[in-house]
Structure 1
């Protein structure tokens, strides 16, 4: 039986802000502030935990540690570094060790009577560690501007540097301990930018993986700021989105250095305008996911109330795992179909995922009518119809390994309502199932004349300065994202 999930809130305002930002990317279903260890009377495990598809992201946020700008800068920096960064690292390593040793002792609340929903005992569980720092931008900008004007005020990074050198170099961070799990040290601007630009779990996780591989396997030595590495990453999009590690071009000494001007140049480029357009296009998909997620956490689902939260989470994960490129395309087809069909008419469209072509989405719009005595009767009828679509889709698209049937109210409905069915397409269709599917197609007019919607990203990177900006602002590119 699904019941409301009661979460703890962040201890301080900084943690609450971080949780709100993370929730917009990972949704309420996968974001958990202040989990607790089931030992010692319920001690806080970490400030924020993200779980998604056998991946944990642990955030430590020490709040705004005051930088003592009235002191000598090296003294002030050393004190701040130890309090804001080293203490976060200590907390992160401790949380990681605890989870690995006692995966069944992680709880949602301080009283330790509600276990964390997700299984973190898997041996191949991937863990990412992030230390978030705050309140350093003004001092960092003042320091860097004294060297060369125009700083963004974010931390800079020189990864192979020993701690002794870091303590003598204000506002620079290294690879804290190369013998342990890598810690991503992000200032408040950095974490907000990453969660805004990498606005899906898949994109965010893939970026973290890319960064760790670049530093520890491909000799990335230094970056001007987190935003500059992000620029390098985003400009290397493939046809399926950012689903691979971009090729790293080292200098003559076999090292890679990314200057602090990379983000400034990228943010005024065609690739960024196209990336921004994808973010806008994907908003409808994101809003649907938000409704699914919030209804599961609040225990107020319209269907499947008798099912446990993990079954609901697994179903929604299929939608949430789509990256930004795929979401933008799926959202476009979803809403184009919805808007093109007359009111109170049943319709459907079949669209494969860009990111995972073996996953096929069947969007079904089912009309609301006055003949239904109540909402539950309508849901029951729609659910039955969706099952028919799922059965036919298995037969009609035999190469699909996963079929996601998404049901919604067609135009003219009195309420907004969505539901999903996930079907494993790996099992071959039997002769009896084939005959039944053919009968359904004929009698119910379900997918009888529908083929998959195919799409191509095409040569979308070539945009003239006098052409309309790809970000869909309606302005010419030279007066929008193409401004110097």
Structure 2
């Protein structure tokens, strides 16, 4: 299955195109799905056993008006708010009409596999949003958005918390974050396990903040691919990724594993 869009690919579309071509995801990946003639469903769907990963991609230029809060709110609305709505609508459709999913804009070619029955389906909502990396570098010194589960929507610039339009936990990845996750987690079961762990950690309510997705991934890898909650509310220390990356066991494990996507270094 190939990722195709009319015209040139945006940055986020190119990321999903590369994701489609990855050997460990190709068998479960379906891009550009429709629910009816000319009615898009989602940009990309990955189906693995009872897990369904719904991706919505948005490449939006980050405004530069001189008002940091205004810039952030505008970008958040276009890049993340719109994706959250699309993913939520796609989730509702799959749970209501799992047999009405099509590969083409004319809605003639049905999805060639049966989706999990709604009672067993576990949906993971994923937004791939690009355009904020340069502003992140300028303001925080690193290209990734921060994670802050104490806030909602666009309350704090360059931090992602609860996204109300998703009506549930929304994974928000920018280009560097998604590339790093796919580099370190190189099987479909590994990717799903990480998403499930993030959702469970958020649901417990004790994890509050991480400087970036890289630090959360470092915490996961350092704890033998788990995200343990502390006994009290906690915040991950900054630059945890760089600390873990320097550890000899981590470097040895990475050296023995073929690399297919760049990390943050």
TM-score w.r.t. structure 2 length?
Answer: 0.89
Displacement of 1:30 after TM fit? 1.1
Task: Please identify which structure carries the higher strand content.
Answer: 2
**CA distance 1:161–1:44, change in 2 (3 Å):** same
Aligned to 1:13: 10
Aligned to 1:221: 208
**What is the correspondence of 1:93-242 to structure 2 with a 5 Å cutoff?**
93-122=88-117, 123-144=119-140, 151-163=141-153, 166-167=154-155, 169-177=156-164, 180-217=167-204, 219-237=206-224, 242=225
The two structures, once aligned, show a CA RMSD in angstroms of 2.1
Q: Equivalent of 2:31, from 33, 54, 70?
A: 33
Q: In the aligned structure 2, how far is the partner of 1:233 from the partner of 1:216?
A: 16
Displacement of 1:8 after TM fit? 5.7
Q: In the aligned structure 2, how far is the partner of 1:28 from the partner of 1:125?
A: 20
1:249 aligns with 2:230: yes
Deviations 1:175-212 (A, max 9, x none): 21399331101111111111111111011100001111
Do 1:10 and 1:47's aligned partners in 2 also have CA atoms closer than 8 Å? no
Aligned to 1:89: 84
Q: In the aligned structure 2, how far is the partner of 1:58 from the partner of 1:278?
A: 31
SS at match of 2:201: helix
Do 1:9 and 1:16's aligned partners in 2 also have CA atoms closer than 8 Å? no
Aligned to 1:269: 247
Q: Equivalent of 1:66, from 61, 65, 73?
A: 61
Do 1:132 and 1:186's aligned partners in 2 also have CA atoms closer than 8 Å? yes
Q: In the aligned structure 1, how far is the partner of 2:223 from the partner of 2:135?
A: 33
Displacement of 1:274 after TM fit? 3.3
Displacement of 1:112 after TM fit? 1.6
**CA distance 1:111–1:8, change in 2 (3 Å):** farther
Q: In the aligned structure 1, how far is the partner of 2:142 from the partner of 2:16?
A: 21
Do 2:62 and 2:75's aligned partners in 1 also have CA atoms closer than 8 Å? yes
**CA distance 1:200–1:179, change in 2 (3 Å):** closer
SS at match of 1:232: helix
Displacement of 1:152 after TM fit? 1.5
TM-score w.r.t. structure 1 length?
Answer: 0.50
Which 5+ residue runs of structure 2 have no aligned equivalent? Answer: 261-265
Q: In the aligned structure 2, how far is the partner of 1:274 from the partner of 1:236?
A: 17
Displacement of 1:248 after TM fit? 2.7
| Count of aligned positions | 256
Q: In the aligned structure 2, how far is the partner of 1:160 from the partner of 1:261?
A: 20
Do 2:207 and 2:233's aligned partners in 1 also have CA atoms closer than 8 Å? yes
Higher relative contact order (CA 8 A, sep 6+): 2
Q: In the aligned structure 2, how far is the partner of 1:271 from the partner of 1:232?
A: 15
Deviations 1:93-127 (A, max 9, x none): 01101111110100111122211122124121111
**What is the correspondence of 1:387-398 to structure 2 with a 5 Å cutoff?**
none
Do 1:7 and 1:108's aligned partners in 2 also have CA atoms closer than 8 Å? no
Do 2:208 and 2:235's aligned partners in 1 also have CA atoms closer than 8 Å? yes
Displacement of 1:89 after TM fit? 0.3
Which 5+ residue runs of structure 1 have no aligned equivalent? Answer: 1-5, 145-150, 284-484
When Rg is computed on C-alpha atoms for both structures, the one with the higher figure is 1
Do 1:10 and 1:16's aligned partners in 2 also have CA atoms closer than 8 Å? no
